[in-house]
Structure 1
Amino acid sequence: MNTPSRLKLTLVIAGVILCWAYSPIGVHLGLRSYSPGHVALLRFLIASLFMTGVALAMGIGRPRLGDVPWLLVLSFFGVFLHHSSLNYGQQFVTAAASSVLAQSAPLFSVLIAFFCLKERVSFWRWSCVLLGLLGVMVVIWGDQGVGDIDPRGLLILLAAVSWSLYFAIQKHYAHRYSPLTMACYMVWAGTLMLCVNLPGLPAAVAQAPWADNLAMLVLGIFPSALAYLAWGYVLKHVEVSRASVAMYLIPPVAMALAATLLGEHIALQVVLGGGIVLASVAAISLERRYTGC
């Protein structure tokens, strides 16, 4: 297998960051014309069609019969619950704050490892979790104000928990399938689950302005399909610990896009809280990198 140049890998990683940074922006644009459930379903209907074309062109393996229940569980946490919670929560917070809160998933991974998997958690990681949760509170305070916090906005934290559960399960099955195969089955199964939101969607599509439908098309193709394929390509050539560092750039890029495309005013507290959250997540990753666990 030929190793791609550093420039090519850098451009691919930059594309992934831009795609995933656009995700909260696209959701906010879609919510102008669609319900949260319709945004999730339409996004993944588009992604499913795109992934079907890619699968037909490149070919994918069939899942083992015994793995099907776990693939459905992966789809539930990685697509259905994550994106449903994210969309409902984003009705009550800005896109900038949403991008930070969604990146708090590694903090909840530590809690899941301790309470559910009964793993030992070092004092360092507990300190990082407490610091990260403090950063989350600062983000919420700066975004809505203490007196105006809408509890429904905290559904974004449920999305982060769901993403943590997805990764905890996914690491046990990733070695059995190629990134393309995993992405295809996860997207297809998750889309079927999201079909509970189908009533009223055709009429909503017909009534939505072309600009909002274009935003949904971009949301379905780039963050929901191409970015996952590109990320799988990156992970083939770069260590996970090194590649994941690039993910810390997603919230700052998302903030810039939110200010440019949505005209959002980014509060200083949101920036400060975002820095605290990302620093705590980075500290957890650094401990894993240097201790090998």
Structure 2
Amino acid sequence: MNRQVQVHGALFAVALIYGANYSIAKEIMPDYVLPFGLIVLRVVSAVLVFGGLSLFVVKEKIQSKNDWVRIILCGLFGITLNQLSFFSGLNLTSPINASLIQTVSPVVVVLLSSFLLKERIQVFRMVGILLAGLGAMMLISSKAGNAQGSILGDILMLVNAACFGAFLVLVKPLMQRYNPITVVSRVFLVGSVGVIPFGLGQVIKPDYASFPASIWGAIAFVIICMTILAYLLNVWAMKYASPSLVGVYIYLQPVFAILIAVSLGKDAFTFQKALYAAMIFGGVYLVSKPRKPAL
């Protein structure tokens, strides 16, 4: 299979998982597990899985102090601040509001890529980002207008989007030097140090024996799909894709969020929404379009 097809397939799967997560995680919080407790379940599970793979399968070590500094920053922005702001924000606001605010992240990616990685912002890529962002905002504007999301929740989701954008840029050089398992295992280990103190009390409080099967299924999805599978696919794709391309796939999350709502009978899919979705895919194409070689 063509490498570019594989990369887009991986990023597409990640967008689908995250799009579904907006609704699935809301089923868990706050009635069964509070936000920080759910984060601890995610992060500790990831540390165990990725740490085991790193120790017994990959067996690779970080080579320099500079790389460790970058890993610490990735753990801070990609796990600690990212997770604390995401789940606490999602607990307070609506899935539609949350998915809308996530479209800010690619803007952060482009700006930081230009500043830190010296990645030139080409005109057609900027047009693609604007087109995809406009399509996403128009797609969910009518829904967002009716959502009763908390202002604090929206602000936390904005912080989450900025932190995730910073993570995508910071982790790119590490992906080029190390195995993705090596990087992810260290990033989650560092990030766990920041989240466990916040969520330890919340993770031991629930009566897990009373949870229905549907909630256990939702928890399994959050841990296995959103945490382990999504991170693996994301970091693998980063080895072959620019941070801008990885970031712009966030625009697909509102599309999937609405499609899932339609499948559950909570929304209606119209020609107008199909047009907005086409704008998003067009923007993704422009961002991923390779640069023409100089003559």
Q: In which range does the TM-score fall when normalised by the shorter chain?
A: 0.7 to 0.9
CA 1:147/1:79 → structure 2, altered by over 3 Å: closer, same or farther? closer
Cα deviation for residue 225 of structure 1 reads: 0.7
Contact 1:22 1:257 in 2 (8 A): yes
Equivalent position of 1:102 in the other structure: 102
Q: Do the aligned residues in 1 keep the contact of 2:23 with 2:95 (CA within 8 Å)?
A: yes
Aligned to 1:89: 89
* Distance change >3 Å, CA 11–CA 283, structure 1 → 2: closer
Counterpart amino acid of residue 198 in structure 1: L
Matched, 1:30 2:33: no
Distance 1:203 1:258 in 2: 31
Q: TM-score, normalised by structure 2?
A: 0.73
SS in 2 for 1:34: coil
2:46 is aligned to 47
Instruction: Please identify, of 249-258 and 121-130, the stretch whose mean Cα deviation from structure 2 is larger.
Output: 121-130
1:27-69 superposed Cα distances (whole Å, 9 cap, x missing partner): 2122142222222222222222222343344133122350222
1:286 deviation in Å?
Answer: 4.5
Give the drift of 1:75.
0.9
Of the three residues 179, 197, 200, the one matched with 2:199 is 197
Q: 1:213 to 1:163 in 2, by over 3 A?
A: same
Residue equivalent to 1:69 = 69
Separation of aligned partners in 1, 2:2 and 2:27? 36
Cα deviation for residue 166 of structure 1 reads 0.9
- The answer to whether the Cα contact below 8 Å between 1:37 and 1:197 also exists between their aligned partners in 2 is yes
Residues 37 and 194, structure 1, Cα contact 8 Å, conserved in 2: yes
Q: Contact 1:138 / 1:272 at 8 angstroms: preserved in 2? A: no
1:257 matched to 2:260? The reply is yes
| Structure 2 unaligned blocks of 5 or more | none
Secondary structure at the aligned position of 2:205 is classed as helix
- State the SS of the aligned residue for 1:171: helix
What is the distance in 2 between the residues matched to 1:4 and 1:133?
28
Structure 1 residues not aligned, in runs of 5+: none
Q: 1:10 to 1:282 in 2, by over 3 A?
A: closer
Distance in 2 of aligned mates of 1:184 and 1:286: 28
Contact 1:259 1:265 in 2 (8 A): yes
* C-alpha displacement of 1:186: 1.2
Summarize the Cα distance change of 1:277–1:232 in structure 2 as closer, same or farther, 3 Å threshold.
Answer: same
Quick one: distance in 1 between partners of 2:170 and 2:50? 22
Instruction: Give the paired residue count.
Output: 289
- Asked if 2 retains the 8 angstrom alpha-carbon contact of 1:79 and 1:186, the reply is yes
Larger CA deviation: 189-198 vs 243-252: 243-252
Bigger mean CA deviation after superposition, 145-154 or 112-121: 112-121
Specify the code of the residue in structure 2 equivalent to 1:180: I
Whether contact under 8 Å (1:41, 1:197) holds in the other structure is yes
Aligned residues of 1:131 and 1:276 also touching (Cα < 8 A): no
Q: 1:63 to 1:168 in 2, by over 3 A?
A: same
Partner in structure 1 of residue 280 of structure 2 = 278
Deviation per CA, 1:208-248: give whole Å up to 9, x if none: 62332331222111121123324455667889998888766
The match for 1:229 is 232
Amino acid at match of 1:105: S
Tell me how far 1:181 sits from its aligned partner.
0.8
Residue in structure 2 matched with residue 60 of structure 1 by the alignment: 59
Provide the rounded CA distance (Å) in 1 between the counterparts of 2:50 and 2:207: 21
Structure 2 counterpart of 1:62, which letter?
Answer: K
Relative to the length of structure 1, the TM-score reads 0.74
- Going from structure 1 to structure 2, the CA distance change for 1:148 and 1:237 (only over 3 Å counts) comes to closer
Instruction: Give the conservation status (yes or no) of the 8 Å contact 1:141–1:149.
Output: no
Are residues 277 and 166 of structure 1, via their aligned partners in 2, closer, same or farther at CA, if it must alter by over 3 Å? farther
* 1:171-210 matched pairs, under 5 angstroms: 171-195=172-196, 196-204=198-206, 206=208, 209-210=211-212
Q: Aligned ranges for residues 9-20 of structure 1 at < 5 Å?
A: 15-20=13-18
